[in-house]
Structure 1
Amino acid sequence: MPRPPILPIAAAILVLAPPAGAQGPVATATPAISVDTLRSVTQELSSDAYEGRAPTTAGEEKTVSYIVKRFQAAGLKPGNKGSWTQDVPMVEIAAGNVAPFRFTGGKTPVSMAYRTEMVAATYRVTPRVQVANSDVVFVGYGITAPEKGWDDYAGVDVRGKTVVILVNDPDWQTMTRDGPFEGRAMTWYGRWPYKFENAAKHGAAAAIIVHDTEPAAYPWAVVQSSWTGPQYELDEPGNHMDQSQVIGWMQLNKAKELFASAGKDLDALSAAAKVKGFRAVPLGVKFSTGFTNAVRKSASKNVIGVLPGTSNPDDYVLYSAHWDHLGRCDAVNGDDICNGALDNASGIAGLVALAEAQAKAGAAKRSIAFLAVTAEESGLLGSRYYAEHPVYPLARTVGGVNMDVLNVNGRTRDFVLTGAGKSEIEDMARQFVTAQGRTISPEPNPERGGYYRSDHFSFAKLGVPMLDGGSGEDLEKGGKAAGQAASEDYVAHRYHKPQDEYDPKWDWSGAIQDLQVYYGLGRKLADTPTLWPNWYPTAEFRGIRDRSRAGVK
């Protein structure tokens, strides 16, 4: 089948009514966005030569060099005081000799095999981890949310103990957005980094999440591929010794076996954990495991290019995407390279294509920065490091767009704002989407917690409004059924697997639609010095933004 035609955009002019704070309508000319760039960058970065683009490997060296070359060719300037890169101090921890999870003291001993039934890791920078005969406590969803009057750790001391935690939020089965934790939409409290962080705050020696495909929003194979290779953390003082000794996941069927051995019913306790006032339940069994760690400290790199502004060069509009993927991973049919073509070579391709388009249009009043960050797959580490050690002050960073997986399924009739209802930058994006004749659709899978799973979150936590949005599932060819099928097929068969490989048959016309929105939004922010989008008053990030902006003249 021939590819659907891409609408000519070289001469397109979008004239939009300004949001609050802008002075008059702004005309934004959209230069052509290169499909050849999208194809060539994605194909190159996802080739086997880059070995899956794991941080601190030879694959990183090739990746960084290639991105710098494309930024330079696009017309950008080095973005970090004359350098194209920012060092990100990293520590790599590779678990070895992982002992099975062993639970004793119940009706029968329960053992869980590494990789197939459980995975284990640690944030601690130490040569060996050992947990022996630790009391096990079921803490429901592992949430402490004072503003909601919710505390799964109330009335229990888990210091030195092992906590077993459910994935997602208590109201994830509510199909609407109603509920104490936004119903079907996953909140930060439902994400695994939060659960491990909160367990550590309560002194748990080990924290184990029960994997369940629907509330986790991905199958066990994703956990296995993501958690069985080297794990990365920022290299910080203290070596993360304040964290739990062991963090990990267990398969749902093994969790049921464990609870049955302890004389408990996992389904009944899971139902009880959904109700406010739930109290943690000691299981009366003990947990043991241990493993060695190969520790390697090194520096990964963020890549930064900039198009300097004319009249307001000290204000910055930011585009971001992560360049890393999983590197070598568990083999599938003999293939052990997780190439990460869509996730996220495509996002870097979009970053380069936008750099070309913005440079072709000429300098804007404000500076436009392009940030390719490392270690997103390891917990947003590259963006977190930049946000905590910004090259450009966050108080002078106006806002921007993050790109993580572009649409290669064709043009859509709709556009989805991930985590909608948080910032005024969404209102600006809506205008560009509407100008394309598209509608805004609700997030199709809010239970996946997408808002907290990509690099924009690192900036949001520190107050910078960043758009996370893109094509919906209502394809012009095939409608919602085809779009949903394509999305589900990717998650089930390619996401975080060696099968995420470049396909020359991909249809990039939907990506072009989205990149037009990103271009127009970024250009409007860059050419309107009076425009400072903020978070809505109810957003959790409003206070920090107000405080940071209060000191700017």
Structure 2
Amino acid sequence: MLKIVSASVLSLAAAASAVAAGGGVPKVAAGQIPEATVKEGTRVLSLDEFEGRAPGTPGEEKTVAYLIEQFTKAGLKPGNNGSWVQEVPLVEITASHFKPLTIAGKGASKDYTFATDWVGVTYREQPRTDLAPSEIVFVGYGINAPEKGWNDYAGIDMHGKTALILINDADYKEEGLEGPFNGRAMTYYGRWTYKFEEAARQGAAAAIIVHDTFPAAYGWGTVESSWTGPQAHAVRKDGGADQTQVNGWVQLPVAREIAQMAGKNLDELIAAAGKPGFTAVPLGLTASTGFDNAIRRFDSKNVVAMLPGKSRPDEYVLHTAHWDHLGRCTPNAAGDDICNGAIDNATGTAALVALGEAHAKAGPADRSLLFVAVTAEESGLLGSEYFADNPTVPLDHIVGGLNMDALSLAGPARDVSVIGGGKSELDDYLKIALADLGRVATPDASPQAGYYYRSDHFSLAKRGVPMFYVKSGQDLVEGGREAGRAFEANYRERAYHMPDDEYDPNWNWGGVVQDLQLFYRLGRTLAEDDKWPNWLPGDEFRRIRDESCKPEGGC
């Protein structure tokens, strides 16, 4: 862990170069953060009557109406060519009547129960899914990365077969940040979204990820809640015909039993998969299952608000937060089946309104400030992906931005956790703001979770727009790191993506206000500055930004 701390802090300090050395950044006054706005917004958005804010439901209608009302009260303007909303076309597929997942071969057969042992969905827009007995191939981490000389699919034809895949990257067990896939820090290759995408590109009939709590960064309860019930996807021209028939997960003990049925040891397979030159292993078994699909097409909505700039209104600083959550999900012990999403992400959505209100009270900045509450983050960043692909303002006119997702209610902290630090010149602004506020930066406490690739800023970052993702730290003013870790662990284990993520009137809002003061300062400084921060040389997104910043462009 010491290696991680040292590398992250040094990279953050080293990044403070061009902006800070070039005369610093504009000094801005502290913002008047309306605690009542973020507190009441969180309470309202997580009420049962919003039904967990699932896209395409009455809960969405209530959410969008509430946000428009609150943005108007905050003093902002419609941000999409005179409209408060941007339509986002989606398709919802709700599976039912699940057959068991049947694993057969080598003289044995075993059925696994849906939700308890496995979960699965389809991305294909068809009324029925039937996975005929399909040969299972253990493909390690399911990565095909030519630039790294790594291909877990080398030499295997996956057409019609089922890929059994490990979560995270091949080197996630490393203590430091060295390795073909950045060691402990997850890359996009470690995300479940990538693994399903690559399996489809390889022609697989099904893709099954092995759940393991540490490398996944969440427990099976989170998987079960997230992967049962309605699943929203972006509308595809081919109706999803190029996708696998089934994408799903199995519990780790189930994967061990599958390996044993094949005469293999799962731990030995995992060890082999972490080494360069790994070769996919056909298991001599088949997988089969089936389920019905109810299909509904609908338009969801991003809500877009703006505070126009006074001198350079065609340059923008972006703020994002996702308003959606899971809707109705697996009931808890009390029978409650509403995933209210109070922390995730009623807090960030209410904070978006509060920041807009604080900036409006301060008056227009030189640049315009854009506030976008996006839909369908829980379904795979669909709202931010649509916004980034169909921006309401040109991407090369967006200076940079910040994303807010699941604010901490643990109380004030001495530090902040920097997700994706050392990637861009935005670090310069963060370093100065933290010094002014008497706080410090600490590295991502869970680099194996790949948080930089898991929230809405990623949709903009991968298109070249520099984006902050800063979360409250764990070194609490009251209780230190032990208390901070305990609060986070309790939330992950008992509430994250589950019905118990509910509003608590006894929460300590001091940390939220503290964080919003930082976010206000970061956004305001960018909006008053005349510089265009870029990704650092060698960063994965630098080339994209440089190519987009043509002479006629904003940046």
- Asked if these proteins are the same fold (TM beyond 0.5), I'd say yes
Question: Secondary structure, in 3 states, of the residue corresponding to 1:411?
Answer: coil
- State the distance in 1 between where 2:422 and 2:100 align: 44
Contact in 1 for aligned 2:38/2:354 (Cα 8 Å):
yes
**Structure 1 residue 328 displacement after superposition:** 0.5
Task: Tell whether 2:366 aligns with 1:351.
Answer: no
1:377 matched to 2:349: no
Shift of 1:17: 11
1:413-424 mapped onto 2 (5 Å cutoff): 413-424=414-425
Q: CA deviation at 1:236?
A: 2.7
Q: Distance in 2 between matches of 1:147 and 1:279?
A: 18
Shift in CA distance, 436/73, structure 1 to aligned 2, threshold 3 Å: same
Q: Distance in 2 between matches of 1:226 and 1:123?
A: 15
1:374-407 CA deviation, whole Å, 9 max, x = no partner?
A: 0000000000000000001101011111000112
CA deviation after TM superposition for structure 1 residue 178, in Å: 1.7
1:232-271 CA distance string (max 9 Å, x none): 1111311121111110000111111111111111110001
Deviation, structure 1 residue 427: 2.1
Structure 2: stretches of 5+ with no match in the other structure? 1-15
Instruction: Please say which of residues 509-518 and 386-395 is displaced more in the overlay.
Output: 509-518
Contact 1:107–1:261 (CA under 8 A) maintained in structure 2: no
**Residue number in structure 1 paired with 2:180:** 180
2-side partners of 1:505 and 1:214: how far apart? 30
Deviation at 1:31, TM superposition (A): 2.5
Q: Deviation at 1:106?
A: 2.6
Q: What is the CA–CA distance in structure 2 between the aligned matches of 1:72 and 1:552, rounded to whole Å?
A: 31
| CA distance in 1: counterparts of 2:18 and 2:495, whole angstroms | 41
**Structure 1 residue ranges without an equivalent (≥5):** 1-15
Shift of 1:141: 0.3
Tell me how far 1:24 sits from its aligned partner: 5.5
Secondary structure, in 3 states, of the residue corresponding to 2:294?
strand
Aligned counterparts of 2:183 and 2:374: Cα–Cα separation in 1: 32
1:442 maps to 443
Partner of 1:224: 224
CA distance in 1, matches of 2:211, 2:46: 29
| Correspondence 1:118-517 to 2 at 5 A | 118-332=118-332, 333-517=334-518
Structure 1 vs Structure 2 CA RMSD: 1.4
1:66 aligns with 2:66: yes
Which residue of the partner structure matches residue 79 of structure 2? 79
Report if the CA contact (8 A) 1:143-1:189 is conserved.
yes
Distance 1:119 1:539 in 2: 36
Of 19-28 and 122-131, deviating more is 19-28
Alignment-derived partner of residue 39 in structure 1: 39
Deviation at 1:18, TM superposition (A): 8.3
Write out per-residue CA displacement over residues 93-146 of structure 1, whole angstroms, 9 at most, x where no aligned residue.
Answer: 001111111111134212111010000101111111111121110000000111
CA separation in 2, counterparts of 1:226 and 1:92? 14
Q: Could you say which residue in structure 2 is the equivalent of 1:8? A: none
Letter in 1 for 2:163: V
Aligned match of 2:12: none
CA contact (8 A) 2:17 2:428 kept: no
The CA distance in 1 between the partners of 2:41 and 2:315, in whole Å, is 29
Contact map agreement 2:105 2:286 (CA 8 A) in 1: yes
Residues in 1 aligned to 2:500 and 2:53: alpha-carbon distance in whole angstroms: 15
Would you say the 8 A contact 2:18–2:425 is kept in 1?
A: no
For 1:337 and 1:199, the matched residues in 2 are separated by 32
* Amino acid paired to 1:158: M
Letter in 2 for 1:539: D
What letter corresponds to residue 289 of structure 1 in structure 2? T
The alpha-carbon deviation at position 19 of structure 1 amounts to 1.6
Which deviates further from its counterpart, 336-345 or 18-27? 18-27
- How far apart are 1:426 and its partner, in Å? 2.1
Q: Which residue number corresponds to residue 11 of structure 1?
A: none
Match of 2:92 in 1: 92
Q: TM-score, normalised by structure 1?
A: 0.95
Q: Is the 8 A contact 2:136 2:164 kept in 1?
A: yes
Is the contact between residue 17 and residue 25 of structure 1 (CA under 8 Å) also seen in structure 2? no
Residues 25 and 429 of structure 2 are in contact (CA less than 8 Å); yes or no, is this contact kept in structure 1?
A: no
Q: Which residue identity does 1:363 align to in structure 2?
A: P
- Aligned amino acid, residue 115 of structure 1: A
In the alignment, is the contact (CA less than 8 A) between 1:107 and 1:263 conserved in 2?
no
Which residue type is aligned with residue 88 of structure 1? V
In structure 2, C-alpha distance between the alignment counterparts of 1:35 and 1:106, rounded to whole Å: 63
Cα displacement (A) at 1:20: 5.3
Kept in 1, the 8 Å contact 2:433–2:518? The answer is: yes
Distance (whole Å) between structure 1 residues aligned to residue 493 and residue 21 of structure 2: 44
Q: 8 Å contact 1:18–1:26 — kept in the other structure?
A: no
For 1:453-487, what per-residue CA distance to the aligned partner results, in whole angstroms no more than 9, with x for missing partners?
A: 10000001111111001211000100010101111
Single out whichever of 505-514 and 314-323 deviates more from structure 2: 505-514
Contact 1:22–1:531 (CA<8 Å) still a contact in 2?
Answer: no
TM-aligned CA deviation for residue 299 of structure 1: 0.3
Alpha-carbon offset, residue 214 of structure 1? 1.1
Contact 2:343–2:502, Cα closer than 8 Å, also in 1: yes
Asked if the contact 1:17–1:24 (Cα under 8 Å) also holds between the matched residues in 2, the reply is: no
Residue aligned with 1:408, SS:
coil
**Residues 25 and 525 of structure 2 are in contact (CA less than 8 Å); yes or no, is this contact kept in structure 1?**
no
Identical amino acids, percent of aligned pairs: 55
Provide TM-score, normalisation by structure 2. 0.95
Per mean C-alpha deviation after superposition, the further-off stretch among 419-428 and 317-326 is: 419-428
The residue matched to 2:465 in structure 1 has which SS?
coil
